[in-house]
């Protein structure tokens, strides 16, 4: 059996979705790679106890978001996400959507961005996000509404075009 413990299989299965989450958080290709590697590294470290985790895939995404928040705190506060498009071949990529969405998300605080990604990309409940980010559900609701409002303002007229290209 080549991978009896399942880590590489798990990493293969999850790396793409982890990368998507990372990209929305960072808006940067290389920063996303860095973030996914960090999340996988943390999962690897505790992999021998993975049986204790009910949903390893969801847990990995939470680890990634927490790593993102932690990394951003450690780095310079003046650092801003830089939009980069991948060189890798893709399946009908919507570059316009990516650019617009990345620009809009970049105007949010890191924590607002994390809340929106967990709520909307990961489809997590307010209560779950509150647990993941160690905040109260009320705080997450307020943060989510504020972030959505900000995003709506930034996107403006682009929104309709994005939804119905």
Partner 1 sequence: MNLDDELAELMHRAVDTLDPPTDRLIAGGVARGRTLRRRRYFTLAAEGATCVLVLVAVAAMTVQLITARTHGTSASAGVKPSPAIPTLTAAPPEGTVAVTGQVMAQTLLDLLPAELGNVRVVRMAGRSFTGFAAAEVVIDDGHGAAELAISMTYRMPNHRNIVSAECSDPTVSTDVVCRIMTDGGFLSTSHGGGSGIATKWQVQLGRTDNVQIELTEWNAPAEKDARQTRPKPPLTVSQMTTIVGSGRWQTHVSAALAARAASLFPTEKQPTPAYTNAPPSAQTTEPSLPHVNQPPSAQLSNPTPALPSPTTPSPLVTLPTAY
Chain contacts with partner 1 (rule: CB under 8 A): 2-5, 7-8, 11-12, 15-16, 18-21, 23-24, 32-34, 36-45, 47-48, 86, 88-94, 97-98, 101-102, 116-117, 120-121, 123, 148, 151-152, 155, 159-160, 162-163
| Residue labelled with tokens 């900000």 | 150
Shortest Å, Cβ 77 to partner 1? 19
For the four alpha carbons of 164, 151, 118 and 39, in that order, the dihedral sign comes to positive
Distance, CA of 153 to CA of 163 (rounded, Å): 15
Shortest Å, Cβ 2 to partner 1? 5
Q: Among residues 34 and 135, whose Cβ is nearest to partner 1? A: 34
Distance, CA of 40 to CA of 52 (rounded, Å): 17
Alpha helix ranges (H) inside 48-157: 56-74, 95-106, 110-116, 126-132, 137-155
Q: Among residues 96 and 136, whose Cβ is nearest to partner 1? A: 96
Shortest Å, Cβ 72 to partner 1? 17
């Amino acid at each position: 059996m080549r991978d009896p413990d399942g880590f590489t299989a798990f990493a293969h299965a999850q790396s793409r979705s982890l990368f998507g989450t990372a990209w929305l958080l960072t808006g940067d290709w290389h920063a996303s790679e860095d973030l996914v590697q960090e999340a996988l590294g943390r999962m690897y470290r505790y992999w021998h106890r993975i049986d204790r985790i009910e949903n390893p895939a969801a847990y990995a995404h939470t680890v990634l978001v927490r790593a993102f928040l932690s990394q951003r705190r450690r780095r310079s506060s003046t650092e801003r996400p830089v939009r980069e498009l991948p060189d890798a071949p893709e399946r009908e990529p919507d570059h316009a959507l990516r650019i617009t969405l990345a620009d809009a998300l970049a105007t949010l605080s890191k924590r607002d961005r994390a809340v929106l990604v967990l709520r909307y990309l990961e489809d997590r409940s307010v209560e779950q996000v509150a647990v993941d980010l160690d905040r109260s559900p009320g705080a997450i609701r307020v943060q989510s509404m504020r972030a959505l409002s900000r995003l709506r303002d930034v996107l403006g007229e682009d929104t309709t075009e994005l939804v119905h290209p």
